[in-house]
Amino acid sequence: MPEKQSQPRIVVIGAGVGGIAFGVYLRRQLPQFDNFVIYEKANDLAGTWRSNTYPGCSSDVPSHFFSLSTDLNPEWDYTHAKQSQFLDYWRNIAIKYDLYSHMVFNTLVTSAAWDPKKSKYLITTKAVKGELSKASQPGKQLVEEAALEEQQDEAEVLISALGILEVVNFPKIAGLETFKGDLFHSGAWDHRVDLKGKRVAVVGNGASATQLIPVISEDPLVNITNLCRTPSWVLPPIRSEIGPVQKWMFRNVPLFMRLYRLRHYLNTDLFYGLVFANAWTRALFEMGLKKYILDAAPKKYHDKLIPTYTLGCKRVIFDTDYLKCLHRPNVTMNWDGIQSITEDGVITTTGERLSFDVLIFATGFVADDYPLRVKGTRETVKEYYDRNGGPTAYMGTTLPGFPNFYMIAGPNTATGHTSVIYTEECQINYMLQLIEPVLRGDLKTAEVTDHATKRYNDIIQSRLRKSVFVDCVSWYRKGSEGKVTSIFPGMSTLFWWWFRRVNWEDYNISGRTEEWQREQRRQEWVRRVLKNVARAIFIASSIVMFRAIWIGKWDALVQEVKHILAPLFPIIKGYYHRAMVLLA
């Protein structure tokens, strides 16, 4: 690895969980590399866990699986931890890996453009005034410090870690900006507003709304109307407190915490197989969930709360006492839909006027666009997306025409069933295989081909067209009804398998060294040999088994298998003892 002053430079946009995870893997896999910076427009890190501070904010993915595999945490208080503990976790990770020294806060990246002469991205940044990391109200933009000039940076490698929970989504409703009361989004909660004694409208009934309404409605002086449009599939509660005995076992019993995490991994893939990939078992789940919803919710809402769309085509909701809180006298549901907003409330599609002091929009995020101007050799990311009918990328990670540009949590990398941290780790491992040769000087640029990108997305969209994800309107799709641009159509295991290594034939490479090419040929030869050996073993084993079945000599087969495996036992035993020494 070259000395720092001569090292290529990496710029990471965003210090959310994706940006932090990239920094962690960079530190672990390339400890001698130090020429990188992480720009963050807010005044602190952790992205969604920093910005989403609404009452009741927590994870709907198990905490032990919603954290880095490199840094398991035995101290989670709940199976599905709350926002504050996740924020502390990511801050501690940044301290452990000395990432704070590489982070520049209150700095907005306004644009980036590839310079073919320098083979670098020219990056423009601007200081941000105050703590506005997101527009908390419709039409309200980040306040930029006018007194400071734009700053320039350059980097051989550009990483976009903006994530998919970056820009809050306000629905297009007439009169939205005329409301005279307090109005804000759940993703940018205004803690200055006291809800006590107020008439509060919560717009939406997705994950955020169903977490915050049970909490704010605990105060009987807060009068809440939940303005809904489409019912959600609500699953029974899953959160429970982790006791001191289990925490002790996580801290002291070897591999216990790792196996606990593995269990969650297997459960999520099982859930995918039963709900997303199998119509028969999905129908059984729907029957059970209908009964749960009807048993838990007030009878007057029964005809509104059961979805008419297929389970899984939208993000499922885990109940956090939402259905139970609908029994409270200070909570009302309204399913009429909003026609317009007035100075003092809303007008429903039935013409009814409802007066409110506070409007809270729990209406999700913009997931079908790219908010930053990044220009490659031909066009911007947004122009590429528009030309392809929505967000499109190769492996959800890189685009043709954008050398050395990689996206964490890019198109079709989200899932409806597993941990986004897991998928981001798979992505980061993949992109570091592309980045490391650049940092070592073995090649100058790697740019995915148009053909490979089209081939990959043809496969993705073909699988999605046959999936449950096209059965309803959702944020998974471009414009809610277009092609599915957010979701990966498969199990977590398939995601890992596809991302385990780079297929260099799908990339145009410039500036490669002869040594690097020799190494690639050697690795390809080794893979081919191993594949042929595995194929030969499979054929030989099949012949032996077929012969045993044909002549009925099972005892002979067992003895033959023992004879083959016997020499392997001492080797396996040696590796086991070596592993125990390392773990100790």
Q: Would you say residue 414 lies in a domain?
A: yes
- Where among 312, 327, 361 does a domain terminate? 361
Provide the H-helix boundaries in 475-513: 492-499
Kindly compute the dihedral angle of the four CA atoms of residues 62, 68, 71, 73, in this order, to the nearest 10 degrees.
Answer: -20
The confidence score (pLDDT) of residue 248 equals 97
| 449 within domain boundaries | yes
- CATH number of 149's domain: 3.50.50.60
Is 474 domain-assigned? Answer: no
Planar angle of CA 399, 405, 410, nearest 5 degrees: 60
Q: Domain of 183? A: 176-361
Are residues 272 and 236 part of one domain? yes
DSSP label of 477: B
Evaluate whether residue 270 is within a structural domain: yes
Same domain, 219 and 325: yes
Whether residue 561 is found in the same domain as residue 544: yes
What is the pLDDT at residue 479? 74
Please check whether residues 379 and 506 belong to one and the same domain: yes
Q: Strand 151-155 and strand 120-127: pairing?
A: antiparallel
Q: pLDDT per position in the chain (584 positions), as tens?
A: 665 557 899 999 999 999 999 999 999 999 999 999 999 999 999 999 999 999 999 999 999 999 999 999 999 999 999 999 999 999 999 999 999 999 999 999 999 999 999 999 999 999 987 554 444 455 444 444 444 578 999 999 999 999 877 788 899 999 999 999 999 999 999 999 999 999 999 999 999 999 999 999 999 999 999 999 999 999 999 899 999 999 999 999 989 999 999 999 999 999 998 888 888 999 999 999 999 999 999 999 999 999 999 998 888 999 999 999 999 999 999 999 999 999 999 999 999 999 999 999 999 888 778 889 999 999 999 999 999 999 999 999 999 999 999 999 999 999 888 999 999 999 999 999 999 999 999 999 999 999 999 999 999 999 999 888 888 877 788 776 788 899 999 999 999 999 999 999 999 999 877 776 677 777 766 666 666 666 766 666 666 566 656 655 556 656 666 665 566 566 555 555 554 444 44
Those residues whose C-beta lies under 8 Å from the C-beta of residue 283, and which sit 6 or more positions away, are none
Same domain, 406 and 286: no
pLDDT of residue 203: 97
Comparing C-alpha atoms, which of 418, 155, 416, 137 is closest to residue 262? 418
Whole-angstrom Cα distance, residue 27 to residue 168?
32
Taking the alpha carbons at both ends of the chain, their separation in whole angstroms is 31
Cβ proximity of 188 and 134 under 8 Å: yes
The token pair at 93 is: 């990770």
Residue 158 covered by a domain: yes
Looking at the structure, tell me whether residues 274 and 419 fall in a common domain.
Answer: no
Per-residue pLDDT at 290: 96
- Of the residues 339, 361, 383, the one at which a domain ends: 361
Indicate if 430 and 562 belong to the same structural domain.
no
Do 426 and 395 lie in a common domain? yes
What is the gyration radius of the CA atoms in the chain, in angstroms? 26
Q: Give CA–CA dist 389/540, Å, rounded.
A: 49
pTM of the model: 0.87
Domain count, the chain: 3
